Structure 1
C-alpha cells in the first residue's frame, strides 16, 4: 500500500520523538522510562510513596537518598547499585559503605531496603536496586521543591563493589577544581554538569570534618566570608566536633532552590569544593551567576545532568542481576 508524503513525514516525526525517550548507553543497550510499564506498573507509585513517608519523618533524608545515587554513579563500572552491598556474602564483598566518602555519612539504606521489599511483594525479582536509587533521587528532589524529569530505567545490579573506586573516584570536599573536573570528565560529564549537579547541595548537611581545614588552614579560607567562617567555628572547633553537622545552605536548607549559587557569590559556600566553583574558573563563575539569577535555567540543566549521570555505563540485558535484596548478591 502506498503512503502519502504527509503520512511519511508524520511517521518520521513520531519516530524522532520516540527516540528521545531512550537513552543509549555504552554497552549497546537502552534505558527508557516505560521499561516497567508491563512487568511492574506499580513501581513509580511505590517508590514515591515510601520516599515521601521517609522525608515526612526526616526532611534531611531527601539529600541522603540523592547522595546515595551520586556516590553510586562515580564508582566501579558506573551506575549499578554497588554502594548498597554489605560486607561478605557469596562473593566476599568488601563494601563501599566503609570508604572515606561514605563512612559515618552515607545513610538512607533502610529506605531503599523498604522500597525493595515492597516491590518484591508485587513484582518479584523485576525492579533493580539501581533503578530504585534513580527513582528515589528524582522523587527526593521533587518532594523538596526541585524539578522533575522522566527517569530512564532498565538497569541491572552489580555482582560486586569497589572500595578502592569509592575512595578514589568520588569528588572530595578538599579536592582542587581541576581534580574535581577531571573526575567528572572521566565519567563522561562536563563542566556544566559539574556546576549543575553541585546545586544538589541546596539541601543537606556537611560534617565539620569536611571543611575544618578551610577554617583553620592556610588555604581556601581566603575565599570565605570571614563573618560566616567565624560563625562556623563556633560549632566546628579546631579540635573535636568532627561529626557536628552544618547546613550546606543555611538560608533555605530544606528547600531545593537556587539559593546555593547565591551563597557562593556571597562567599558563603560551606565546602571548599563548592566555593571554588565561583573563585577559580571563569566559565564556572559565569554558570554560577546565571543559575543564581535564573532558577528555571538551573532546574532545566539539573534534570538533564541527572539523566546523563544516571546513564554512566549501567548494566543491561544479561549483565549483572536483579538482586532479591539490595544489600546482598543473589546466591
Structure 2
C-alpha cells in the first residue's frame, strides 16, 4: 500500500485515515501489508516498505505541506516532487514482493512498474481534481491499461466521471471510508453560548464564504472555533477563535461533546470529508456549502443543512440550535452514516473483496 500522507504520532492530524485503513486491513487476517508512506507508528503486523532515503524524503514532503498543497501553491516545485514520488515508489515496488498494489492518491498509479500486477486505486477529492490537468487522463489510462485495475472512489458522486474517463480500462467500485465505532457512542452536552466548529486546513478555498457569510452571525452569543493548520496566510476576523491543528482524539474528547454543530463552507475539491462523517456519526448537526462532496453526504433538512447564502446560513443556525431539531437531525445523521457508510471494519471487508476480485482477474481491463 502506498500513500503520501501518514501521521507521525497519535496526535498528528496528517493522513490519520491512512493509519486507520492500514490497521483495519491488518486485523482482517487476510492481508499481509507493506506500507510505503511517510514515517510513523505502524499498527499490528504492518511492515514498512520504505528505504531510509524514502523515510527522510517523505517526511520532508509532509513538512512542506504535502504534494497536493505544493501542486496548488508552488506548481514547479510540486511537479519536481511528484517526479520524485513516482521514481521512489517504482523502486519500492521493485524491491518489495507483492501480489497487488494499493495506492491512495490516484496519480501514484503512474509510479507503478509495468509488471501487469493488479492495482486497487483509492480515489480521493484532491486527486480527482487533478484530472483537470492537461494529459492527466491519458497518462492514467496508460498506467491502468495492461493490468487488472479497480478504481475505488470514496464517494459515489465521482463514479460517473470516472466511468466516462476510465470505464474501458478499469472497474469502478465506490468504497466509502468508514469511521471508528467510538464516534457512534459519543455523548454530547453542548455548551452555552452555542459553540460552532470549523475543522479545516486554513486556505481560501477550504474556508470558502466563511468570512463574508459569518460576519454578524458569530461573536455576540454564538462562538465560532476554527481547528486546523494555517496553510495560507490569511487575516482572520476577530469573531473566529483559531485554535490550531487538532486530531480525532482531541475532537472526540474535547470539541465534539461541547459543540452545537459543525460548519463548512468549503469550495475546495473534496471527495467525502472524513471529519463531516465523524461529526454526523456523533449525532452533531452539520451545515455545509453546496458542493458535490456535501450534497452527496447530507440530505437537506433531514440529516443536516445545505446553504447557498448568508440568509440560509442564518436560518440553518437557528434551526440547528433548537434542542428538539438538533436531536432529530443529529439522530438521523448518525443512523445514515451507520447504514450507508459503516465502520473501518466495513471498509476493510469491502477492500479485501476488491483485492480478491482483482486477483481472480475478474476485473475487465484493456490490453
Structures share a fold, TM > 0.5? no
Which TM class, normalised by the smaller chain length?
Answer: 0.3 to 0.5
Q: Which has the higher contact order (CA 8 A, sep 6+)?
A: 1
More helix by share: 1
Please, what TM-score do these two structures have when normalized by structure 1? 0.34
More strand by share: 2
Please, what TM-score do these two structures have when normalized by structure 2? 0.31
